[in-house]
Structure 1
Amino acid sequence: MMIFVLLLFLAVLAAWAMFAFNRLVRLRNQVKTAWADIDVQLQRRHDLVPSLVAAVQAYAGHESSTLKAVSELRAQALSQTQPARLGEVEASLERELGRLIALKESYPDLKANQNFAQLQQELVKVEEQLQYARRFYNGAVRDLDNGIQRVPDAFVARVFGFKGAEFFQAEAGSRDAVKVEMTP
């Protein structure tokens, strides 16, 4: 009878460990999938940047500092793999793209350009999808981190080497309120 109870206990323990392991694998894979979704949206954004720069350059070529900053930030973003650092670079790129788009107010021909308007609309769509992808990724990271820190699953996580993931965070300065000036 004692052996039966011991075997039953070991079977329940093994079933729990298998369940916990499979749950942690699912959470880890969800983080990887969410990161891939962010990567797709960032690539779409990066693909739009050269076209936007070219469109603005045709009308406002002397705005070289903004055009150069956007191009350099795009190159930095393409080389980043760490979510935290990529978040900082992408926040800077987003800010510079905002400045690039704002140039249309100073250049009526650029504002009327159909290609520029279409690129701007595509960029807005990408930004919306990117915002959703970031929230989903950070939720997946939170779930994984909770899973590997929660007792008793933490034991399985340590035994099998599960690690937490980095949140995709905005640059510290990008959290400040955006100043918007309305012109009559």
Structure 2
Amino acid sequence: MVAALSVVVVLLLTALGVTLSHNRFTVQREAVERMWRRVDAELQRRHDLIGGIVAVTKAGGVNVSTIVQARSQAMASRGAGPVAQSRAEQLLNQQLTAFLAGVPARLREDRDFGLLWEQMGESDERVAAAARDYNDSVHALNSRIVAFPSNIVAATTKVARAQYFLPGGRTR
């Protein structure tokens, strides 16, 4: 009788542990998704700023086709996941850096361009902060997925590892 009661208690405690672990995975997955939405919002804001920079420089007679194409590719990568979006953002940053290096001095001194450029720096900071928070959430989730005993729960409930996001540096 005592042995049977002991087995029942062990099974109940195991079930409770599995349930609590699974619930914690769910909370962590939601945190990762919430942080990703923040990254996505900051990237959208940045893309909008790039559109403004393109408009100002185009009005100044600068060829904007490469940056427009890179921006379009980055915007099209939304929803493709952190790895694909990282690649698109890195390409955009490379194109933007090259593009801005070719902007004539007269445009750099333009008030509208200067304001947009300042906002771009702030946007880069916000993207970096959001990416840091997202990657911290990813790290916490992925660490639990591989740590014992939660790795058993992760394997049996098919909790997948999350992907890191590398924003590709600053444009300044």
The residue aligned with 1:100 is: 99
The residue aligned with 2:155 is: 158
Quick one: distance in 1 between partners of 2:112 and 2:99?
A: 15
Quick one: distance in 1 between partners of 2:84 and 2:22?
A: 30
Kept after mapping to 1: 8 A contact 2:128/2:167 = no
Q: Please tell me the root mean square deviation across aligned C-alpha atoms, in Å.
A: 2.0
Structure 1 length-normalised TM: 0.83
Cα offsets for 1:59-89 (capped at 9, x unmatched): 2x2x42xx21111111111121121121111
Cα offsets for 1:105-152 (capped at 9, x unmatched): x332x1232211111111111100100111111111111111111121
Quick one: distance in 2 between partners of 1:43 and 1:50?
A: 11
Kept after mapping to 2: 8 A contact 1:69/1:96 = yes
The residue aligned with 1:135 is: 132
Post-superposition shift, 1:163? 0.4
Structure 2 length-normalised TM: 0.88
Post-superposition shift, 1:100? 3.5
Kept after mapping to 1: 8 A contact 2:36/2:134 = yes
Quick one: distance in 2 between partners of 1:101 and 1:32?
A: 33
Quick one: distance in 1 between partners of 2:132 and 2:25?
A: 20
Q: Partner letter of residue 105 of structure 2?
A: Y
Quick one: distance in 1 between partners of 2:166 and 2:58?
A: 31
Cα offsets for 1:140-174 (capped at 9, x unmatched): 11111111111211121122221011111366xx7
* Aligned positions of 1:19-98 closer than 5 A: 19-59=20-60, 61=61, 63-64=62-63, 67-80=64-77, 81-98=80-97
Query: How many equivalent pairs are there?
Result: 168
Q: Partner letter of residue 48 of structure 1?
A: L
- TM superposition outliers: structure 1 runs of 4+ over 2 Å: 95-104
Quick one: distance in 2 between partners of 1:100 and 1:54?
A: 13
SS at match of 2:164: coil
Quick one: distance in 2 between partners of 1:93 and 1:31?
A: 24
Post-superposition shift, 1:95? 2.5
SS at match of 1:100: helix
List gaps (5 residues or longer) in structure 1. Answer: none
SS at match of 1:128: helix
Cα offsets for 1:25-53 (capped at 9, x unmatched): 11111111111111001100111122111
List gaps (5 residues or longer) in structure 2. Answer: none
SS at match of 2:16: helix
